Amino acid sequence: MSMLTHSSKADFAAAAEWVAFNDDYLIERIESTGRLEAMFACVDDAVTRLQSLVSREQSRDSRVLWRTEVHGHHLIVVITGDSDAVVEVGRLLR
């Protein structure tokens, strides 16, 4: 299950980490059925922070697959899987 279905303090802290990361680096989101692609600025500590966030999410919800890529000055996250799960996880990337 994803963090959005939990209510522990750790889950709220993790959600706050996504909000902070998005505020710092999110450039664009592209959504379609069963797929979400998010583009982030690839600067400073963004790669390390994103890898940590994605690693945590991968361990929480097996209904989606996370893939990260570096393209020039951009970090790309591609999330695919169950349509409802992708929508739910996509709430983290706003």
The strand ranges marked E within the chain are 26-32, 35-41, 64-71, 74-81
Taking the C-alpha atoms of residue 37 and residue 86, their distance in angstroms, rounded to an integer, is: 10
> Domain range holding 55?
3-90
- In this prediction the pTM is 0.84
Q: What does the pLDDT average to over 54-71? A: 90
Q: What does the pLDDT average to over 51-64? A: 89
Tokens describing residue 91: 């709430």
CATH no. for residue 36? 3.90.1070
Instruction: Categorize the per-residue pLDDT at 37 as very low, low, confident or very high, splitting at 50, 70 and 90.
Output: very high
Instruction: Categorize the per-residue pLDDT at 60 as very low, low, confident or very high, splitting at 50, 70 and 90.
Output: confident
The domain tally of the chain equals 1
Rounded mean pLDDT of the chain? 89
Tell me, what's the pLDDT at 1?
Answer: 45
